[in-house]
Chain A
Amino acid sequence: MNASPSLRNRLNAAVRDIPPSGIRDFFDIVTTMKDVISLGIGEPDFDTPWHVRESTVFALERGATHYTSNLGYPELRRALAGYVRKVFGANYDPQTEVLVTVGVSEALDLALRALLNPGDEVLYHEPCYVSYRATILFAHGVPVAVETRPENGFRVTRQMLEAKVTPRTKALMLNFPNNPTGAVMGRADLVDIAAFARQHDLIVITDEIYGELTYDTPHTSLVSLPGLRERTIFLHGFSKAWAMTGFRLGYACAPAELIEAMMRIHQYTMLCASSLSQKAAIEALARPASDIGDMVQEYRRRRNFIAAAFADMGLDCHRPLGAFYAFPSIARFGLSSRDFALQLLNQEKVAVVPGSAFGACGEGFLRCAYATSMANVREAMARLKRFVSRR
């Protein structure tokens, strides 16, 4: 949308100067086409588990249609604290240290707005989720990206961070397992990052939305490391592991002072997360293992398939270890990732997202989401192979 010049001048400078998401622009092109197989969808192809949907209908019938506590239903916060303790290895007081939000996106926004003064720097890693840089800017922070590389499995190292840290650095944002690269950080990697955060006295914001989705090694949460819980805002939600993207339900766990500050913004801007979504989340937590186990197994099979298919067609791809994304390199074809994606779309009707949508260093890569049926993955790989073999 283009505002007229006079109105444009009245916009907030941070908003005015941020370009729209590169994904948005690609989406507009894809939607004009028919019969496209999309590997561009960053959400599960599984249905929300039926018991969750059924209990949401029941909650609606019973009249769970009112405001809830700003922090979220106490029953949900208790269940969340229990889940985070069991799965991520950190203890939070459900009364004061858990905040239910409208997706992780809101939680991230609250965290940054609660922490940053204008000009404070935030370290984050690219390629990363499309909203990180924008969210920092909207909170009047200064985004400072460290660039991760396939040689290193797209992990963040202490050395990378040391090169970019300054006295103005206030926070460090991490997202592992990672969208768009499928990278994960092991315990040893995280221990280094933890030492870095302590040394520079940084607040860490860790978005572990894909925490349940790892395929070769179990996930290690940053908050399970000694001394990190006290300086970390842990973010998680129901979109990925329970396939509940449209419910828009996330949460933050952090020391009480931080949750209190985030809650202050949340209560004035959002009031509370949707009561129905909160009821759905309570039901989802009642039996996480049975819902998630089969899903993870199915993603692993697709991951294996897609990795073998890339190897077969000679595309370099670091082994995707988590989330549901593969991030192959297309640098050797001499096309920008956007042009490659456009040609692939036009010639073979396969939609992928150009890596450049996830930060400058994503150039030369494609994000291929395998959150689509095995039949689609198979057909997409056959088409991609045909496309690649012509070049």
Chain B
Amino acid sequence: MDELLKILQANALEPRENIARMLELSVDEVNQRVADYEMRRVIRGYQAILDEDQLGLDKVTAVIEVKVTPQREGGFDTIAGRISRFPEVRSAYLMSGTYDLLLFVEGKNLREVAGFVSERLAALEGVLSTSTHFMLKTYKRFGVLMCQEHSDERLTITP
């Protein structure tokens, strides 16, 4: 992967001037390349990674395994696209194995998510079955550990 993307993926707020220095490019070149990635929609957006457990939000997240019938035309993509458009669905993946789609669904509480599953998701044509698991605690998200402070145990001066 382009090193520029690696840097942005680690910290999208890294000033362009610093990125230019790190990659030995001019700031203009860096800006141009980022703009190009944005235009080609390789870069789809920039988000903050939150430790939501700290916020005490009224929110639950469910991981839902879904078995579906692929359509004659469009295979899994048609039904997956239809499911993905619900705003409650935060992520959706096609999986190998014993089920087909894996969804991350958010709601205010258990009842709201249950309602989404039973009234909308399960009712869709082509959805054969669902299996819902609620998340209890986040230890790591997007490669960031949520559960421990990083401590540098190194001495301040070493040979």
Chain A interface residues toward B at CB < 8 A: 21, 23, 26-27, 30-31, 36, 38, 40-43, 45, 129-131, 179, 245, 297, 301-302, 304-305, 308-309, 351, 353, 374, 378
In the complex, the answer to whether A41 meets B21 with C-beta atoms within 8 Å is no
Can you report 25 A-B residue pairs in the complex whose CB atoms are below 8 A from each other?
A: A26-B157, A27-B155, A27-B156, A27-B158, A31-B156, A36-B156, A41-B156, A41-B158, A42-B158, A43-B158, A45-B154, A129-B159, A297-B6, A301-B7, A301-B23, A302-B22, A304-B21, A304-B22, A305-B21, A305-B22, A308-B21, A308-B24, A351-B157, A374-B18, A374-B22
Interface membership of B73, Cβ < 8 A: no
Nearest Cβ in chain B — how far from A124, in angstroms? Answer: 15
Interface membership of B125, Cβ < 8 A: no
Mark contacts of B146-159 with chain A using CB atoms, 8 A cut-off: 1 yes-contact digit, 0 otherwise: 00000010111111
Q: Which residues from A are CB-within-8-Å of B18?
A: 305, 374, 378
Give Cα A45–Cα B23 distance, bound, in whole angstroms.
20
Q: Which residues from B are CB-within-8-Å of A353?
A: 157
- Closest B-chain residue to A31, C-beta based? B156
In the complex, the answer to whether A23 meets B158 with C-beta atoms within 8 Å is yes
Give Cα A93–Cα B154 distance, bound, in whole angstroms.
36
In the complex, the answer to whether A40 meets B7 with C-beta atoms within 8 Å is no
Give Cα A70–Cα B122 distance, bound, in whole angstroms.
66
In the complex, the answer to whether A40 meets B158 with C-beta atoms within 8 Å is yes
Give Cα A220–Cα B47 distance, bound, in whole angstroms.
43
Q: Which residues from B are CB-within-8-Å of A41?
A: 154-158
- Closest A-chain residue to B3, C-beta based? A297
Give Cα A308–Cα B23 distance, bound, in whole angstroms.
10
Nearest Cβ in chain B — how far from A356, in angstroms? Answer: 14
Chain B interface residues toward A at CB < 8 A: 3, 6-7, 14, 18, 21-24, 152, 154-159
Which of A23, A30, A353, A374 neighbours the largest number of chain B CB atoms within 10 Å of its CB?
A374
Q: Which residues from B are CB-within-8-Å of A129?
A: 159
Q: Which residues from A are CB-within-8-Å of B156?
A: 27, 30-31, 36, 38, 40-41, 351
In the complex, the answer to whether A304 meets B24 with C-beta atoms within 8 Å is yes
Nearest Cβ in chain B — how far from A180, in angstroms? Answer: 9
Nearest Cβ in chain A — how far from B21, in angstroms? Answer: 4
Nearest Cβ in chain A — how far from B58, in angstroms? Answer: 34
In the complex, the answer to whether A43 meets B157 with C-beta atoms within 8 Å is no
Considering the complex of A and B, which 5 residue pairs feature the smallest CB-CB distances, nearest first?
A301-B22, A40-B157, A27-B157, A308-B21, A305-B21
Q: Which residues from A are CB-within-8-Å of B7?
A: 301
Residue of A26, A43, A131, A301 near B154 (CB, 8 A) is A43
In the complex, the answer to whether A21 meets B159 with C-beta atoms within 8 Å is yes
In the complex, the answer to whether B159 meets A309 with C-beta atoms within 8 Å is no
Q: Which residues from A are CB-within-8-Å of B152?
A: 45
Give Cα A319–Cα B158 distance, bound, in whole angstroms.
23
- Closest B-chain residue to A373, C-beta based? B152
Nearest Cβ in chain B — how far from A331, in angstroms? Answer: 22
Give Cα A150–Cα B157 distance, bound, in whole angstroms.
24
In the complex, the answer to whether B23 meets A38 with C-beta atoms within 8 Å is no
In the complex, the answer to whether A131 meets B22 with C-beta atoms within 8 Å is no
Give Cα A247–Cα B18 distance, bound, in whole angstroms.
34
Q: Which residues from A are CB-within-8-Å of B157?
A: 23, 26-27, 30, 38, 40-41, 351, 353
Q: Which residues from B are CB-within-8-Å of A297?
A: 3, 6
Nearest Cβ in chain A — how far from B139, in angstroms? Answer: 14
Give Cα A308–Cα B17 distance, bound, in whole angstroms.
11
Nearest Cβ in chain A — how far from B45, in angstroms? Answer: 23
Give Cα A297–Cα B2 distance, bound, in whole angstroms.
12
Give Cα A130–Cα B159 distance, bound, in whole angstroms.
7
Known: A27-B158, A40-B157. 7 other contacts (CB 8 A): A31-B156, A38-B156, A40-B158, A41-B154, A41-B158, A297-B6, A305-B22
In the complex, the answer to whether B3 meets A301 with C-beta atoms within 8 Å is yes
Give Cα A5–Cα B62 distance, bound, in whole angstroms.
74
Give Cα A9–Cα B136 distance, bound, in whole angstroms.
68
Nearest Cβ in chain B — how far from A39, in angstroms? Answer: 10
- Closest B-chain residue to A130, C-beta based? B159
Give Cα A42–Cα B157 distance, bound, in whole angstroms.
7
Give Cα A30–Cα B155 distance, bound, in whole angstroms.
10
